[in-house]
Structure formats: C-alpha cells, structure tokens
Chains A and B, each alone.
Chain A
C-alpha cells in the first residue's frame, strides 16, 4: 500500500477504474490528481472518482474534473454536504457527471 493521496484501482471486468482521493486537493497536488485521472481515463470510457474522504478541495480540482469529463464518462462519489458538494453545485459539474452521495 502506498501513502499516496490518490489511489487508482484498475478496471476489473465490467467495473470501471476508480480513483480514490483523500485529504486536501489544491494547487500543490492538483497536478498529481490530474495525472491519476488521466491514467484512469486511458483505461476505460468511464471512470469513478471517490471524493468522500476529501477534506478540502478548491477550483483547481473542479478544473481537473471538468477536463477529464470532457473525454470520459465521469461518476463522482461525494459526501452529502460540505465544500465539495457546494462547489459541484456552483460549477454545474453535477449536471454533466453522475453524482452519488455517500453519508
């Protein structure tokens, strides 16, 4: 197990690849987040990004998610409320990605 903040679970059979993010996503590590998303998108036409354990994310993460959604079907797992859910609503990313709420 690595201690990376962004873990990629490869596609298995019918299951699309899953990127699981934890901690904060901001300018300091958004490059790594974007790279992981790109890697996942290269494996499949649809990916799932689990943001339920993310403590903070800003607009740089929203940009990275829009960028990957431009070429890949995107599903997001988010907490019921919090900064991430608010950002999804303001940006309208929730209208082009499938959003699943996890309590």
Chain B
C-alpha cells in the first residue's frame, strides 16, 4: 500500500528552496552557465523531468533526456557521479552535439556555444525515486566541480525527503548545514581574489593556516570571509536570520 503520492512539483516552497540552492551553487561555481535539478520517479512510471533550473540547465538536460544522452541521463541511470570535460566532443555521447542541442533549443545557441564541461551527481530520495543535480560550465568540469555538487546533492535529497515526510522544521536544519559547508568554498573564492591564485593553491593556504593556528577549517573560513567582505558569509535564508 502506498500513501497519497508525493509530487515535488506540487510543493511551491520546496521548489523555491531548490531554486535557492541552485543560486547558491552558481555563486560557488562562477563558471556555471546552466544548473538543473532533475527527478525520476519510477513508481509513477514517469520520464525523468527537470524541476528546477538556471541558465541553459533546463534546455540542456531536456535535450539529453530526449534521447541524445549525457551526464544527467547517465547519472540517473547508473547512480554514479558523472563528469565530462567537454560535452560536445565527449566520446560517451556521440549524439550530444552542439547542432543537435541547438536544434531543440534554437533561442539558446549563444549560451550553448560557450559550454564545455558538465558534472551531474545523483541521489535517492525514495524507493525507486532518484534525483540528479547538474551543472554545466564555460570551462572543463573538474573533480572539484563534482565534489561541490556532492555536497549540494545531499542537501537537495534531504529537502526532497523531508518535504515528502511533511516535516518542515527539518529544512531549517539542512540550511544550517549548507551555511557552514558553503563558508569554506566562499573563503577559497575570497583568497583566490585576494592573492590571485587558483583554487588548489587557495585550498592549500587555508589548510596550512588551519593546521598552523590549530583552528577548525570551517571557523577559519567564516572568519576570513567576514574579514574580506565585512559581512557574514551569505545565507540562503537572509530574511530569517
């Protein structure tokens, strides 16, 4: 026996939260040209569909799901994170070409031309119901792109699970987790701007400072971002805090 079926698209608050999460990912990954959250609920015998997107995320994932294949389709099918350095030339999806996608989304050709890499990270939010968080970049995707999405996928899955359980208070807890995790990424970004170094170097500096002064990386990151920006690290819920 299954209870009344939960459909994410019927929960405007959940969709608003997912949209905020995508905005948050975009501020972490500033080469992002498109972001999407795609769900596949096999219990309803439905096709996978995009429930939240930014930039060209919706068009690009739509094209992949329409039969061209791609990282999001494979992440959902195999339940494993998928990375591509360059979507249009990746030998895993010979049909996924700039021409084929442009044909399906003619108004987005300019954005599509800038695309290089993509990463997609899957999760499970109910028996036989999966989700993929994906990001397309104007640069090749890296392991760091995947690592960043892994953090957010946990949040997205948790949001879906808790909304499905109609437990609104838990979402606040999840946002708190996001805040502290995001601080480290923000600190890295701040250092990259300050010292004009790459992400790897910024990460090493942070880690070394954390060890040297025996401060938790998270606390150091929050302090650094406060110092650089004169403000607390941005929160996805500014209106409540």
Interface residues, chain A, with chain B CB atoms under 8 Å away: 42, 45, 59, 62-63, 66-67, 69-71, 74, 87, 89-93, 95-97
Indicate if the CB atoms of A91 and B143 lie closer than 8 Å: no
Indicate if the CB atoms of A59 and B80 lie closer than 8 Å: yes
Indicate if the CB atoms of B79 and A91 lie closer than 8 Å: no
Q: From residue 68 to 92 of chain B, which have CB atoms closer than 8 A to chain A? A: 71, 74, 78-85, 92
A71 closest partner in B (C-beta) = B203
Contact of A91 among B81, B144, B147 (CB under 8 A): B81
Chain B residues with CB under 8 A of A71: 144, 200, 203
Indicate if the CB atoms of B80 and A95 lie closer than 8 Å: no
Indicate if the CB atoms of A91 and B83 lie closer than 8 Å: yes
Residue from A87, A90, A97 with most neighbouring chain B CB atoms (10 Å): A90
Chain A residues with CB under 8 A of B79: 59
CA distance in complex: A16, B80 (Å): 28
Chain B residues with CB under 8 A of A89: 92
Chain A residues with CB under 8 A of B92: 89-90, 92
Indicate if the CB atoms of B83 and A90 lie closer than 8 Å: no
Chain A residues with CB under 8 A of B143: 66-67, 69-70, 74, 93, 96-97
Q: Measured between C-beta atoms, what is the minimum distance from A16 to chain B in Å?
A: 15
Chain B residues with CB under 8 A of A87: 80
Task: Using A67-B147, A70-B142, A74-B143 as known contacts, say yes or no to A93 and B83 having CB atoms under 8 A apart.
Answer: yes
Q: Does B223 contact A (CB under 8 A)?
A: no
Q: Measured between C-beta atoms, what is the minimum distance from A31 to chain B in Å?
A: 14
Task: Using A70-B142, A71-B203, A90-B74 as known contacts, say yes or no to A95 and B83 having CB atoms under 8 A apart.
Answer: yes
Q: Does B150 contact A (CB under 8 A)?
A: yes
Q: From residue 182 to 203 of chain B, which have CB atoms closer than 8 A to chain A? A: 200, 203
Contact of A67 among B85, B150, B203, B207 (CB under 8 A): B150
B203 closest partner in A (C-beta) = A71
Indicate if the CB atoms of A59 and B81 lie closer than 8 Å: yes
Indicate if the CB atoms of A63 and B200 lie closer than 8 Å: no
Task: Using A74-B143, A96-B142, A96-B143 as known contacts, say yes or no to A63 and B150 having CB atoms under 8 A apart.
Answer: yes
Q: Measured between C-beta atoms, what is the minimum distance from B211 to chain A in Å?
A: 8
Chain A residues with CB under 8 A of B121: 63
CA distance in complex: A45, B79 (Å): 29
Q: Measured between C-beta atoms, what is the minimum distance from B93 to chain A in Å?
A: 11
24 contacts between A and B (CB under 8 A): A59-B80, A59-B122, A62-B80, A62-B81, A66-B83, A66-B143, A66-B147, A66-B150, A69-B143, A70-B143, A70-B147, A71-B200, A90-B74, A90-B82, A91-B83, A92-B71, A92-B83, A92-B85, A92-B92, A93-B143, A95-B83, A96-B142, A96-B143, A97-B143
Indicate if the CB atoms of B78 and A90 lie closer than 8 Å: yes
